[in-house]
Structure 1
Amino acid sequence: MRTLSDMHTVAVAAAGQLLHFELGVAYEVFGNPPVDVPDWYDVQLCGPGPIRVGPFLVDPDHGLDALAAADTVIVPACVDVDVPPPVELVEAVRSAYDAGARVASLCTGAFVLGAAGLLDGQQATTHWAHTEQLSRAFPAAKVDPDVLYTDNGRVLTAAGKAAAVDLCLHLVYLDRGAAVANAVARRLVVPPHRAGGQAQFVSKPIQPADEHALSRLLNWAEERLDQPLTVTDLAREANTSPRHLGRLFRATTGETPLQWLLTRRVRRAQELLEATNDTIDAIATATGMGTPTTLRRHFKQTVGVSPNSYRQTFRSTSLG
Structure 2
Amino acid sequence: MTERRETGRGRNIGPARNKAKAAPEAKWEDGERIAKYLAHAGICSRREAETLISEGKVMVNGERLDSPAVKVTARDQIKVRGKIVRPPEATRMWMYHKPAGLITATRDPEGRPTIFDHLPKSLPRVVTVGRLDLTTEGLLLLTNDGELARKMELPATGLERHYRARAHGRVTPEALEELKKGVIVDGVEYASIDATLERTTGTNNWLHVILREGKNREVRKALASVGLTVNRLIRIKYGPFELAELASGTLEEVPAEQLARILGEEIRTQRMSQAPERPQRGQRPNGPRGGGPRNSGPPGRRPGGQKKRPPRR
TM-score, reference length from structure 1: 0.24
Q: Which has the larger radius of gyration?
A: 2
Relative contact order (C-alpha < 8 Å, sep 6+): which is higher? 2
Higher fraction of helix:
1
Higher fraction of strand:
2
